[in-house]
Amino acid sequence: MIACAADEVRFPYLDYVDGPLCQAPPGTYIYECEESCAQFEFVLGTLGHGQVNISFATIPEAVAVLDALVPNGGRRSARRKAQPPSTLPPLAPAAPCGPAAGQDGDLLVVRRPTGPTDAVRDLVYQRDGGRCARCDSVRRPSIHHSINRGMGCAREPWINQADNLLLVCTLCNGWFGDYPKPSYEAGWKVRRPQLPDEVEVRYADGRAYKLTPDDLRTAVGAAR
């Protein structure tokens, strides 16, 4: 049911899976929108049950997934009619939301935001000069995590530090998902067990840089 719901929403990609999620083996599959910082984590169990984790999503994004989890809009539509929009709870409450039972024993958990602070975002923007690290575009740059926040990394102390963050445009962010191999080779994506400060990152000027948690970048290779 969870896999079919994810396929119905049609995410641009899901990390760690090729093809429809309903055909994937048990495991954890992630979509992370770098522009809005929304993260959707679909956990498929071995006994037909699973879990959906939603972090920092907009209300329309979350509603789309919730509606897909309930066939024909069932109970979800009924709840929307019974509750006026003005009384909807805030998207990011002060305390974490507890798990709620979903249909067929599935669990739905809404988590608190796990992205970088505004201060760190500003530092990364200044370090990269407001330009995409891959193509040098200044059009709609957003924060990209070199190591994805999913797969148990969200609580790592370095996950939202500047050395794990790049400024990239929307087109290049999508390109990373379509072409993971060259993205890893250029350091735009980093695969565990490597850490961000161990990897050289190729910038649009053709040079390789080492990034540091204090938002510095040091050239380590000649332009090419």
pLDDT digits (tens, 9 = 90+) for 135-175: 999 988 889 999 887 655 667 888 889 999 999 998 898 88
Top-confidence residue, 129 or 38: 129
Amino acid residing at 172: C
Closest by CA to 93, choosing from 36, 54, 149, is: 54
Top-confidence residue, 139 or 49: 139
- Distance separating alpha carbons of residues 114 and 55, to the nearest angstrom: 7
| pLDDT number for residue 151 | 54
- Distance separating alpha carbons of residues 153 and 50, to the nearest angstrom: 19
**How do residues 64-91 score in pLDDT, each as one tens digit?**
888 888 765 444 444 444 344 333 334 3
Cross-strand pairs, 16? none
Q: Which residues lie below 8 Å from residue 107, measured CB to CB, with a gap of 6+?
A: 49, 50, 51, 52, 99, 100, 101
Top-confidence residue, 135 or 15: 135
- Distance separating alpha carbons of residues 25 and 48, to the nearest angstrom: 11
Q: Which residues lie below 8 Å from residue 87, measured CB to CB, with a gap of 6+?
A: none
| pLDDT number for residue 81 | 43
| pLDDT number for residue 92 | 37
| pLDDT number for residue 43 | 78
The answer, yes or no, to whether residue 188 has pLDDT greater than 80, is yes
Closest by CA to 217, choosing from 153, 149, 146, 142, is: 146
The answer, yes or no, to whether residue 113 has pLDDT greater than 80, is no
pTM (two decimals) = 0.53
- Evaluate the omega torsion of the peptide bond into residue 99 and state whether it is cis, within 30 degrees of 0: no
| pLDDT number for residue 205 | 94
- Give the residue extent of every domain in the chain: 2-111, 118-219
| pLDDT number for residue 22 | 80
State the maximum Cα–Cα separation within the chain, in Å, rounded to a whole number.
63
| pLDDT number for residue 108 | 45
